[in-house]
Structure 1
């Protein structure tokens, strides 16, 4: 049986963002602890961070900023949900973020059905979240979409089928997406265990090897670069 990584690599490039936004309008964005611009600007809240992202996009004549897989970040220090008692702080991002404007259309990148969905409220959390289930070459796996608009889950039902390229959801704003600048957190999950409408998107250094294995790089599927 093929591994999930080999299956993803063999698939043609696909889109998870509105096809009206060409890949030429995408720009990589480093939000790691080594980003000097971030250290200088020090955005303290969603509004300041949205301004930081907007200026970065304008400067680069871009519409979507992307990146963040296995990226160590300081963004999570403001929320207690990333602190697990005696364990190291969770600060390593294990999905791919795509930053843009609130209301940006999110597409199903593959045929799939709704595994689960939930609003995960609270500072630093996902807000509205959808998980799709996929099966390719007898390999079952999942994709997670976090920081959505409330409208994205209003009329959703478990088991609803989405075809590749169909409109799935839209970017939420900071008031409902966990207090972040508008973006999509996109994550691939091999074994979802018993999670429903939620799955860790940030891990600590001790668990990193497990999550690299269970949550392969989403760009293996999207092939943006």
Structure 2
């Protein structure tokens, strides 16, 4: 039987943001502690981080910075969502981030229907979030889109169908997206269990093997590089 990763790998390249932006305008971005420029500048809030991203895009003549799958990050330390007295620290990112301008359109990468949606409020959380359900080669799986605009979930209905390439949302700003620079968190989920409008996007090292299997690399589908 084919794995979800092998099925995704056979599909043609697709996009989850503005289809007019060519992949040649995408640049990889490392947000781990190994990024010396990030360590040096130490952006501490959404405004400073947005300036950091904007400068990085200009320097690389790019429109989208992408990356972050299975990346250990320190930027989650500011929020108790990722570490408090009752839970071990979660700092490994298990989706793919695409950093670009606010209000950029977010697209369905494949045919799919709305599984669920929710405004996950709180510092460091997703903010407005949409989850699509897909079926390819009799395999049902899900894709999650976090840090959207509030308008993206207004009047939305469970079960609404979208064709591949249709706009499903727009990217939100720091006031609604969990206090981040504008971006979309894109994640593939095989077994969503009982989650509704939410699913962990950052994990603890002890759970990493589970999430690598349940949340395969989104770039298997997008094929940016």
TM-score w.r.t. the length of structure 2 is 0.99
* Secondary structure of 2:119 counterpart: strand
**CA deviation after TM superposition for structure 1 residue 84, in Å:** 5.0
Aligned residues: 225
1:47 aligns with 2:47: yes
**CA deviation after TM superposition for structure 1 residue 86, in Å:** 5.3
CA change 1:220–1:121 in 2 (3 A) is: same
In 2, the alpha carbon distance for the partners of 1:126 and 1:170 equals: 14
| Deviations 1:179-202 (CA, angstroms, capped at 9, x unpaired) | 000000000000000000000000
In 1, the alpha carbon distance for the partners of 2:151 and 2:211 equals: 30
Residue of structure 1 equivalent to 2:157: 157
Residue of structure 1 equivalent to 2:93: 93
Matches within 5 A, 1:56-135: 56-85=56-85, 87-135=87-135
In 1, the alpha carbon distance for the partners of 2:110 and 2:203 equals: 26
| Deviations 1:53-95 (CA, angstroms, capped at 9, x unpaired) | 0000011110000000000000100000001535431000000
In 1, the alpha carbon distance for the partners of 2:108 and 2:87 equals: 35
| Deviations 1:109-155 (CA, angstroms, capped at 9, x unpaired) | 00000000000011000000000000111100000000000010002
* Secondary structure of 2:50 counterpart: helix
In 2, the alpha carbon distance for the partners of 1:87 and 1:149 equals: 29
Matches within 5 A, 1:168-183: 168-183=168-183
* Secondary structure of 2:81 counterpart: helix
In 2, the alpha carbon distance for the partners of 1:217 and 1:84 equals: 28
Question: 8 Å contact 1:88–1:206 — kept in the other structure?
Answer: no
1:223 aligns with 2:198: no
Residue of structure 2 equivalent to 1:193: 193
- Where structure 2 has 5 or more consecutive residues not aligned to the other structure, the ranges are none
**CA deviation after TM superposition for structure 1 residue 177, in Å:** 0.1
1:147 aligns with 2:134: no
Runs of 4+ in 1 over 2 A off after TM superposition: 84-88
Q: CA RMSD in A?
A: 0.8
Question: 8 Å contact 1:105–1:170 — kept in the other structure?
Answer: yes
In 2, the alpha carbon distance for the partners of 1:84 and 1:68 equals: 23
